[in-house]
Amino acid sequence: MKKREQKSEFRNYFELGSLSLKEWGREVYSSDASVDVLDFFCCAGGMSLGFAVLKNDFRIVGGIDINPVPLAAYRKNYQAPTLQADVSSLGDNIQEIENTFAITPDHGKPLIIIGCAPCQGFSAHTKIYHDKPEDSRNTLIGRFASIAVKFHPDYVVMENVPEILTGKYKYHYEEARSVFESHGYRVVRKIYNAAGFGVPQSRTRAIVVATKSKTFELPEEVFSEANYKTVRDAIGDLPLVLPGQFNEVDPLHRCSSHRQSTIDVIKAVPHDGGNRPEGLGPKCLDKVKGFYDVYGRLFWDKPSITITQYARNPASGRFSHPEQNRGLTIREAARLQSFPDGYYWHGSLGEMFKQIGEAVPPLLSLAVATQIALTLKHEKNGESSI
């Protein structure tokens, strides 16, 4: 298949999946889908969603996470079993995983295992990154790889911050790659801006895929910078809401109850991308250049900055609404991550923001899922892959 035809086929399939994502509601997915998907470090299921919307290709068999709160959201969204477990302590006994999800090393169906380990230990945005001690979460990538290969999956998909490939802790990625390659897998990797797949947010992430396919390659981004989706595209239609209140039609369109001092600072910030005027707010902010965007407003006609679990707090970065004098609502943060309004979140306001901020944007996941689905289809038909 020629390169232009490959791009066209990918884009058409991806766009169909994007439409399904917009219309997504909690459904029971077909048990006769050709490929099963098991999600480690699943959180509330952002990475799973990119596969789930291609319901004729993939079936979500369940998720594993250490935290029971996002697991409750995962169960409701996918109507699939979950396992609360610390991956680092699962050991070599995979019996509990087999029993929970009814999968074995001789599964009989193609299997994809997802493993998006916590990224905080690798991120260069973490304070004193270059001097901080080793984060115990960094060892999870190698541990996950050792468990995943026991099930002989057709694909293993990992997402993380780019620093796992280039930072001083990249040897953890190298450890995982060594595990995969020693078991006959080929490892491909690429760094993306999620905005390149329609996420209305600038979010740079590494995608790593281990596969025994000889033809699979990661896709190219669909959108150029000139065509990125914007904050206006994502949240411009949402109604006015005041701090601490919520919209009666959409209870998730609500933000934190800010202190009056916080509201006073935001009021002084110019609309549509403005920065905090010097001298306003805590004095420490004027002493550190890295805090220049604290209390800043999002730009209407640009993608948002990276949405994190701290997006509820304008004092944590450029997380103020472009015009309204408040921080972001749960609905706004979810949309900026490309989640459909039908997605369910569980727990307190802070817990929901954590689930959203730690998620893989579903449109980024959809890009990987699309490429895998098309590769499997071509290989099954004996055609040259995309």
Terminal-residue alpha carbon distance, the chain: 7
Determine the distance from the C-alpha atom of residue 168 to the mean position of all C-alpha atoms in its chain, rounded to a whole number.
23
User: What phi and psi, each to the nearest 5 degrees, are found at residue 147?
Assistant: -75, -45
Q: Which two tokens stand for residue 110?
A: 């193609």
The residue annotated as part of the active site, out of 42, 116, 119, 255, is: 119
DSSP, residue by residue, 265-321 = HHHTSPTTT--PPTTSS-GGGGT-GGGTTTTPBPPTTS-B----TTTT-GGGSS-B-
Q: Is residue 119 among the annotated active site residues?
A: yes
One-letter identity of residue 197: F
One-letter identity of residue 349: L
Q: Which two tokens stand for residue 259?
A: 């202190």
Report the candidate in 319, 320, 325, 331 with the shortest Cα–Cα distance to residue 247. Answer: 331
* Catalytic residue set: 119
